[in-house]
Every structure is written in C-alpha cells, then in structure tokens.
Amino acid sequence: MSLLSVVLPAFNEEAVLPKTVKVLGDILSQAGIDHELIFVDDGSRDRTWQIICDAAETDPRIHGIHFSRNFGKESAIFAGLADASGDCVAVMDCDLQHPAEVLVRMYRLWEQGFEVVEGVKRSRGKESLFHRISAGTFYRLMTKATGFDMSRASDFKLLDRKAVTAVLELPERNSFFRAQSSWIGFRTTEIEFDVREREAGTSKWSTFGLIKYAVSNIVGYSTLPMQFVTGAGLIFLVTAIVLGIQTLVHYLTGNAVEGFTTVILLLLIIGSILMISLGIIGYYISRIFQEVQGRPKYIISKRI
C-alpha cells in the first residue's frame, strides 16, 4: 500500500495544533489512506514543539522537526519534503485553512496517475481590503515574472515522489515553492478549494513581511527590473539629444545664459534615476552573493 506524507509548517500555532492533529488523523484514517504527518516547527516561541512531541509520543505516524530559529515557511516546507518518506507528499497549512477533505481528493487524483496536484483558491477567504489589494498586485506581478498563473496559486499541493525529488534537487537558496512546483512540469492537475477561516491563532504575515516576500520572489524569477535600467537610459539618451540640440542653438544665437532651472531639474532627475538603477542592480548582486555563500535553507535542532 502506498504511503502519503503530509508536511505541515507550524510557527506559533499552539492554539490550533491539537485540533489539526485530530482532524487530519481522523479524515485520513476514515478514507483508509496510509499516512504520516510531518510537523515542521519553524522556531516557534510558544508551546508548539511541546504539542508536537506529545502527539508524536501517542502516534508513531507523527514526526516532528524543530528549527533552531524561525527560517520562514519556505524553509519549513523544504525541510518537510526532505524528511518525507511517502510515495506522494502533500504540503498544507496547519491552521486548517486548507480543508482536509480536499487532501483526500488530491490523493485520489494522484492514484489516478497525476504527479502534481495543485490546490487553487476559488475564494480567498476573509481578508482585509488592504491585504486583498496588495496580494492582488503581488500575484499579478508574480504571474508576469514567472509566466505561470499565480493569482490563485497556493502552497496546498500534493506531489508524487518523482516531483518531490525534482523540487529538492533545485539548487537555489531563495526558494519559492509555489512557483517551483509549477516550473518542474510533470503531469499536473488542479483542484479548487475554498480558503477556510483560520481555526485559531492569527496570521503570521506582517505587511512588511509580505512586501519583502514579493520583492524577493519577483527578483528570483525575473530580470525585468534590470531592463528598467536600460529603458531609463534610452529615454535619457533621446532627451539628451533634444536638449543638446536646443542648447547648441541657444549658444549659436547668442543667448546661452538662461536655462538654470533646466540644469537643476536634470541633475535631480538623473541623480535619482541613477541611484534607483544602482539599487536594482545591487539587489540582484546581493541575491547572487547569498546564493554563492551557499548557506543552508534551515538548521534543525531537534527531531522526534
């Protein structure tokens, strides 16, 4: 019989974890699916690890990985994937926003021969207006950058062993699971689900965190921002020719003193464009630096 591994990243989730353990165990057992649950404690500061340990002691199918500090959800997903021994591996949030019934349907699709089953959001659940707008903008940019439709993508997925191996072999340090699982290809299908409301606890995303995440992933998948530098350069070349001719004409007709305002404006504009351009290039260089440093995505301090 084939084994399903479920990877569940958890960061300060003490409020919801006991329920997650129970709900998932019940539903998977009822469906007759042989499974293991891998909880990755992403450096929580509350009782999350304690709860995972308790659960693991009563049920041998539950595994726990504890990070030495908070490395972020992406790292937690990868640690779980690396640890999973199933013939197929599902990734889902442990706050029960990804419905467990859908997990069973994903497994059935896998049994029919699909190698990547992507959960796509039919509705985004309850979110503030600001969050909705910023998430919308982020996903539009991401869709442009990656070339895959990211607007409804989620981290709720089920991958065949072959796909898991492929994802784990991608060498980049700055990983973005959502896009990588599309990038690898394989026989893929989608399954729609409604994002549930969080059972307990609060969302772990701050606005600043989301912006950082957006910028980092756009840079990871696209060199378009660098072409902005070239574009700005071309626009300035054209302006330079026009202004140059005008200046020469003024000089030849003998009234060259005027135009101080133009000089100041040009200095200011060119100065800012230059600095923005340097910043963009600098961002890419810092990414190259991080990749070259080759630090691990995460450090595990405890296992159970």
- 42-81 residues near ligand UDP, rule: CB under 6 A: 42, 70, 72-73, 76
CA distances from 166 to 116, 214, 294, 300 (A): 11, 24, 19, 22
Q: How far is the CB of 149 from ligand UDP (least distance, A)?
A: 19
Cβ-based neighbour number of residue 240 at 10 Å: 12
Per CB under 6 A, which region of 90-98, 112-120, 262-270, 296-304 contacts ligand UDP? Answer: 90-98
Tell me the C-alpha distance between 160 and 165, whole Å. 9
Give the contact letters, 86-105, x = binds to Mg ion (CB under 5 A), - = no.
-------x-x-x--------
- 10-29 residues near ligand UDP, rule: CB under 6 A: 10-11, 13
121 forms bridges with which residues in the sheet? Answer: 193
Q: How far is the CB of 177 from ligand UDP (least distance, A)?
A: 11
By beta-carbon proximity to ligand UDP, the closer residue of 17 and 117 is: 17
Amino acid at 29: S
Exposed/middle/buried for 61, CB within 10 Å: 0-12, 13-18, 19+? middle
Q: How many CA atoms lie within 13 A of 95 on its CB side?
A: 17
**Main-chain phi, psi angles of 69, to 5 degrees:** -160, -175
Q: How far is the CB of 155 from ligand UDP (least distance, A)?
A: 8
Per CB under 6 A, which region of 88-96, 180-188, 229-237, 285-293 contacts ligand UDP? Answer: 88-96
Q: How far is the CB of 299 from ligand UDP (least distance, A)?
A: 14
- 238-257 residues near ligand UDP, rule: CB under 6 A: none
93 binds ligand UDP (CB under 6 A): yes
Q: How far is the CB of 93 from Mg ion (least distance, A)?
A: 5
CB of 10 within 8 A of CB of 48? yes
Tell me which of ligand UDP, Mg ion, none is bound by residue 166, counting a contact when its beta carbon lies within the kind-specific cut-off of 5 to 8 angstroms.
none
DSSP for 13-71 reads -TTTHHHHHHHHHHHHHHTT-EEEEEEEE-S-SSTHHHHHHHHHHH-TTEEEEEESS--
34 forms bridges with which residues in the sheet? Answer: 3
By beta-carbon proximity to ligand UDP, the closer residue of 72 and 225 is: 72
Of 118, 122, 150, 156, the C-alpha closest to 137 is 150
One of 4, 7, 9, 180 touching ligand UDP (CB under 6 A):
9
How many residues interact with ligand UDP (rule CB under 6 A)? Answer: 16
Give the contact letters, 182-221, x = binds to ligand UDP (CB under 6 A), - = no.
---------------------xxx----------------
Our measurement of the distance from residue 42's CA atom to the centroid of its chain's CA atoms, rounded to an integer in Å, reads: 15
CB of 31 within 8 A of CB of 1? no
- 111-170 residues near Mg ion, rule: CB under 5 A: none
Residues lying near ligand UDP in the complex (CB under 6 A) are found at 9-11, 13, 42, 70, 72-73, 76, 93-95, 97, 203-205
Residues lying near Mg ion in the complex (CB under 5 A) are found at 93, 95, 97
